[in-house]
């Protein structure tokens, strides 16, 4: 019977049905299913599948956003129970995220945060219009592996370079890696400013983050 429930969980993610994802999470707890099993065997496979569909052009950004919202809804039910039980997910790494100062675009950055959370990263999302020093100080405070910094305006892209320079000035490079993204950001720009990673979308960002953390081990 658990297999049917796990399949329904994955389907709720694929269909972007946040109410159904929440209902199934609640049902799992009532039935005594371990919350970690519900996440890893039910919801995560759904996110992985929608991610693959997006990468292949079989799903589009609105579907990915809805899937992310459904996943967040399920996690809000399951994670408090995991804390209560003293059970934690295996941590892939710690990432500080933010949309750079002068820029208030949020959707892409938030989606990246959701996908990274699903992948097992501890994500500290500082929101939008985040000053360079706030990103750097938070990363130092939280002993982060990576700073992920987004920009959707060409006028704010230069501030991504400032994050890397601030880390260098404080002697925190190369201990803290930097990933950059956003509509106007290109691989050439990432290389020019000395960023460690670049991705055009949330699915790719997860793969890059995993590579960066693995390279430090």
CATH number at residue 116: 3.40.50.280
Closest CA to 107 of 61, 55, 59, 71: 61
Residues 138 and 67 in one domain: no
Do 56 and 106 reside in the same domain of the chain? no
**Alpha-carbon distances, residue 93 vs 19, 164, 176 (angstroms):** 29, 19, 11
State the CATH number of the domain containing residue 61: 1.10.1240.10
* 6 and 45 fall within a common domain: yes
How many domains does the chain fold into? 2
Model pLDDT for residues 57-95, shown as the tens digit of each residue: 999 989 999 999 999 999 999 999 998 888 878 889 999
Same domain, 134 and 50: no
- Asked if pLDDT for residue 3 goes beyond 90, the answer is yes
* Owning domain of residue 71: 2-85
Q: Which of 51, 85, 119 is the last residue of a domain?
A: 85
100 and 80 in a common domain: no
Co-location of 129 and 44 in the same domain: no
For residues 155 and 152, give the distance between their C-alpha atoms in angstroms, rounded to a whole number: 9
Boundary residue ending a domain (37, 63, 85): 85
The answer to whether residues 97 and 71 belong to one domain is no
Residues 216 and 142: their CA atoms lie apart, in Å, by 17
Record the pTM.
0.85
Contact 205, 181 (CB under 8 A): yes
* Mean pLDDT, all residues of the chain: 94
| 70 and 140 co-located in one domain | no
pLDDT of 189-211, one tens digit each? 999 999 999 998 898 999 999 99
Per-residue pLDDT, 88 = 75
Q: What sign does the CA torsion over 114, 116, 122, 125 have?
A: negative
Pick the range with the lowest mean pLDDT from 84-88, 106-110, 119-123, 153-157. Answer: 84-88
150 and 105 in a common domain: yes
Q: State the average pLDDT over residues 178-195.
A: 96
**Higher-pLDDT residue of 25, 61:** 25
Mean pLDDT of 34-52: 94
Q: What is the pLDDT of residue 216?
A: 79
- Residues 101, 68, single domain; the answer is no
210 lies in the same domain as 104? yes
Give the residue-averaged pLDDT of 104-128.
92
- Mean pLDDT, rounded, for 166-174: 95
Domain boundary pick from 28, 56, 85 = 85
Backbone angles phi, psi at 201, to 5 degrees: -150, 175
207 and 189, same domain (yes or no) = yes
Over 80: is that where the pLDDT of 217 sits?
A: no
Helix or strand (DSSP H, E) at 125: strand 121-125
pLDDT reported for residue 165: 97
Residue 181 confidence (pLDDT) above 70: yes
């Amino acid at each position: 019977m658990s297999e049917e429930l796990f399949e329904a969980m994955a389907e709720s993610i694929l269909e972007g049905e946040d109410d159904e994802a929440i209902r199934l999470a609640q049902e799992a707890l009532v039935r005594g299913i371990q919350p970690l099993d519900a996440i890893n065997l039910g919801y995560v496979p759904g996110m992985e599948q929608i991610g693959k569909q997006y990468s292949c052009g079989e799903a589009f950004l609105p579907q990915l956003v809805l899937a992310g919202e459904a996943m967040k809804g399920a996690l809000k039910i399951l994670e408090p129970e995991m804390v209560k039980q003293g059970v934690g997910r295996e941590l892939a790494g710690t990432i500080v995220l933010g949309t750079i100062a002068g820029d208030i675009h949020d959707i892409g950055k938030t989606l990246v945060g959701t996908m990274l959370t699903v992948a097992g990263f501890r994500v500290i999302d500082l929101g939008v219009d985040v000053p360079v020093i706030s990103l750097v100080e938070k990363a130092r405070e939280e002993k982060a592996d990576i700073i992920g910094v987004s920009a959707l305006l060409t006028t704010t892209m230069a501030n991504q370079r400032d994050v890397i320079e601030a880390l260098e000035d404080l002697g925190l490079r190369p201990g803290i890696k930097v990933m950059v993204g956003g509509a106007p950001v290109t691989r050439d720009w990432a290389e020019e400013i000395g960023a460690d990673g670049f991705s055009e979308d949330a699915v790719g960002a997860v793969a890059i983050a995993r590579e960066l953390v693995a390279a430090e081990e």
